A and B are shown apart, each in its own frame.
Chain A
Amino acid sequence: AQSVTQLGSHVSVSEGALVLLRCNYSSSVPPYLFWYVQYPNQGLQLLLKYTSAATLVKGINGFEAEFKKSETSFHLTKPSAHMSDAAEYFCAVSPYQAAGNKLTFGGGTRVLVKP
């Protein structure tokens, strides 16, 4: 069975500082990997996804993530935090040969941006 671990349920960053959200997965075969963002009282929105084409993936809103097979990681970064980045972020995996995109989510990391 697959699992996803997000280190840190809460992260506080200053506006303009680096945002780093950690995600590690457990799977015998590298899965497809996703980062979703959830703003208050809203559904999930896809930030970016890894589908084996390139290890460094660029997404929306200036976010990017790097897939590292040796570390089974897919950490999310943004060079400079903006107040609008305050939200909850979820890392998710989908099995490589699954029927359908059945996502297994990490526990989420809530980001607070300080002015």
Chain B
Amino acid sequence: GAGVSQSPSNKVTEKGKDVELRCDPISGHTALYWYRQSLGQGLEFLIYFQGNSAPDKSGLPSDRFSAERTGGSVSTLTIQRTQQEDSAVYLCASSYGAGPNTEAFFGQGTRLTVV
């Protein structure tokens, strides 16, 4: 597709369940980012993938959060044993380059609600 695609667009899950959120970046983009947007914390960086390098996981809030990127393309963010404070919009972004001034293109996000 032309843009960053995220699925599902909405997800409601029960507290304690695991969830997987998917991101399809723009074709050819080597860098991929996950961010979380919540009422209390605003927009926060979670994790960054660049090519085949080890990901930068410095923004992951706890060990319940993990992400992988297969084949340098699709990425999955997994949240285990979800808690109510995990409710947020999870945004994925990709960029062509790895530099700090490159434009990041964002998907529409996955709205996660933990009940």
What is the CA–CA distance of A90 and B103 in the complex, to the nearest angstrom?
14
Whether, in the assembled complex, B87 has its beta carbon less than 8 Å from a beta carbon of chain A, the answer is: no
Note all chain B residues with C-beta closer than 8 A to A101. Answer: 31, 33, 95, 98-102, 104
State the CA gap A51–B99 with chains docked (Å): 11
CA distance A95 to B101 in the complex (A): 9
Chain A residues near B35 (CB-CB < 8 A):
103
B108 in contact with A42 (CB, 8 Å): yes
- How many pairs of A and B residues are in contact by the CB < 8 Å rule? 72
Interface core residue of A44, A51, A99, A103 (most chain B CB under 10 Å) = A44
CB pair B91 A100 closer than 8 Å = no
Interface size class of A (residues with CB under 8 A): 20 to 34
A window 33-83: CB within 8 A of B: 36, 41-46, 49, 51
Residues of B with Cβ closer than 8 Å to A?
4, 31, 33, 35, 42-45, 48, 50, 56, 59, 91, 93, 95, 98-109
Q: A101-B33, A103-B33 are in contact. List 6 more A-B contacts (CB 8 A).
A: A43-B4, A44-B104, A100-B33, A102-B59, A103-B43, A103-B45
